[in-house]
Structure 1
């Protein structure tokens, strides 16, 4: 069950996207110009499972290179072979520092899930993790980019619902 949950959570977080935009910091941008929105939307399905996720975020550009923000996560999973489903929800707080096309990112994630999904008992549990890593961003015009990110869970242990301490993401930002 742990491995299945880990795979599902990894797939949902792989869709996370952070918005990035050009702001003229030389002329003192307003609070509104520093705010950005973004997020991810994911869907995967097979003859064994369906996974739908939504991960909106809002952030603030502290400087041209440094930003921070918060996000929420909702995910619906259905395991067709067992005729069961679950609604997962959570959130995250992140900070990111960019140097040219490279960036470093720190993130704290929280997720709530049904810990006894296969036992047909409605017992909720939660998991947290603290991720550190970096990536590269390839710009697509003034506001868009394709981003590759690798992060490591510093709190990973034997009781983690995830199979691996590594998180890899490919996402678009606008």
Structure 2
């Protein structure tokens, strides 16, 4: 039941963000100067996540930066750190980075390719004692999303997903990206 609730919460959040981005998109921002300066083509963004409930904590910080070559292509990198703890059962620290490529065939559509490498440190607490496991996890994500100005809502699929070795519960992951 918890995964259904989490999915419902994610859908609701996506709808709310979608509506707010459509409302805020009614005014077009001034275009960036066309001087070609490096920093004028760089956008910063990423993700922040916080989930807290009785005996459960999940915190994620994932900053990223992309360089826009033109209106169609961008390349960037990101860092990520996640902390997850379920009281009296499990804790995890995940950190690493990614390289991202974006293609915008039309203004409203963004296609993405992302290579992610993260180090996973898990600790399990059991009635019989403690157990730790550390490993590296590689993900290759193909994604697509609807773009409204600097907000992208979509999904991505990890084509290297292996349910026995992966840190994610599914190959498919919805996302909301924001860049400034």
* Preserved CA contact (<8 Å) 2:76 2:99: yes
- In the alignment, structure 1 segments of 5+ residues that lack a partner are 12-20, 140-144
Q: Structure 2 matches for 1:30-109, cutoff 5 A? A: 30-82=37-89, 84-98=90-104, 99-109=106-116
Cα RMSD for the two superposed structures = 2.5
Displacement after TM superposition at 1:163 (Å): 2.5
- In the alignment, structure 2 segments of 5+ residues that lack a partner are 11-29
Using CA pairs under 8 Å that are at least 6 residues apart, name the structure with larger relative contact order, 1 or 2. 1
Secondary structure of the corresponding residue to residue 123 of structure 1: strand
The alignment's TM-score, normalised by the length of structure 1, stands at: 0.74
1:135 matched to 2:145? The reply is yes
The alignment's TM-score, normalised by the length of structure 2, stands at: 0.72
Measure the CA separation in 1 of the matches of 2:123 and 2:58.
18
Measure the CA separation in 2 of the matches of 1:123 and 1:22.
49
Measure the CA separation in 2 of the matches of 1:35 and 1:103.
17
The total of aligned residue pairs comes to 149
Displacement after TM superposition at 1:92 (Å): 0.9
